Amino acid sequence: MTEPVSRETPPTPDAARGAFSPAGLDLAERYVAWLADAGVVRGLIGPRERDRLWDRHVLNCASLAEAVPQGATVADLGSGAGLPGLVLAIARPDLTVTLVEPLLRRTTFLEEVVADLGLSGVEVHRGRAEDLHGERSFDVVTSRALAPLDRLLAWSMPLVSETGSLLAMKGSRAAEEVAAVRTLCRTAGAAEPTVVEVGSGAAATTLVRVTWAGPARVSWRTAPGRSPGGSSSGSRGRKRRGRPGS
């Protein structure tokens, strides 16, 4: 049974009308209502974030849609409260989105929101990224401020298809992180990482984009990193914190 959400939600900014279609805007408003009520109550969103849900979170994540190809399959790692995966699914109904999240209370929230919004193109997968290694591949693998880029590459690149890409939402230190992993990418068969700016104003977002160097290089040949969830493959642990919505 879905949980009722409060009507006391942040007002919809004018910028949201440009980020979503009329139908998508209705879904985005309902999603914000979920975040402002059940998301806060269940500890997925900090109470101080309630008044900043649109600008700092939803519109920020909607900017990612500019960089995603038409009809793509997308995996959102460490999806938490659905940022950016659910926002992307709302903004781009042509996409097929898999929300990858190891913690039950978060996947329960995601499943309830997906059902309430009727998002038929969204799948919720309870587990860690490496659970899908060798089993699934995606056109785009994304995440939002989930981990340093070296660890993120180890979790994400085994899921990136031959012609796909990693699109990691990063902050002001994106260029520094890219510089630090150039050698790692060459060794592991990935192309040179690039920094991409999308969106504008308060919704401006910095992405790091990584693709494969070529069809013959589709294999991540480094030691496995620690997965979203905070533990190495085969063990359980607490999920790494450090971002709103995680």
State how far the Cα of 192 lies from the Cα of 214, in Å rounded to an integer: 12
Inside any domain, residue 230: no
Rounded Cα–Cα distance for residues 220 and 190 (Å): 8
SS3 126: strand
**Binding site for S-adenosyl-L-methionine, residues?**
78, 83, 129-130, 144
For residue 158, cis peptide bond before it (omega within 30 degrees of 0): no
Mean pLDDT of 171-197: 93
Supply the pLDDT for residue 6: 46
Is the pLDDT reported for residue 10 higher than 90? Answer: no
pLDDT (mean) for 144-155: 93
Judge whether 220 lies within some domain.
Answer: no
Does residue 238 form part of some domain?
Answer: no
Nearest to 148 by CA among 64, 84, 240, 223: 240
2: in domain: no
211-244 per-position pLDDT tens digit: 999 765 566 654 444 454 443 333 333 333 334 3
Closest CA to 207 of 6, 19, 68: 68
What is the identity of the amino acid at 222?
Answer: T
Annotated binding site: 78, 83, 129-130, 144
Please check the confidence at residue 202 and state whether its pLDDT lies above 80. no
Structural domain that includes position 121: 14-215
Each residue's pLDDT tens digit, 156-183: 999 999 999 999 999 889 999 999 999 9
Question: CB-based contacts of 171: which residues, under 8 Å, 6+ apart?
Answer: 145, 206
- Cis bond upstream, residue 47 (ω within 30): no
Question: How many structural domains are present in the chain?
Answer: 1
Report d(CA 160, CA 172) in Å as an integer: 25
Q: Is residue 231 part of a domain?
A: no
pLDDT in tens, 50-108: 889 999 999 999 999 999 999 999 999 999 999 999 999 999 999 999 999 999 999 99
Domain containing 179 — which CATH number? 3.40.50.150
Residues recorded for the chain: 246
Question: What pLDDT sits at residue 203?
Answer: 85
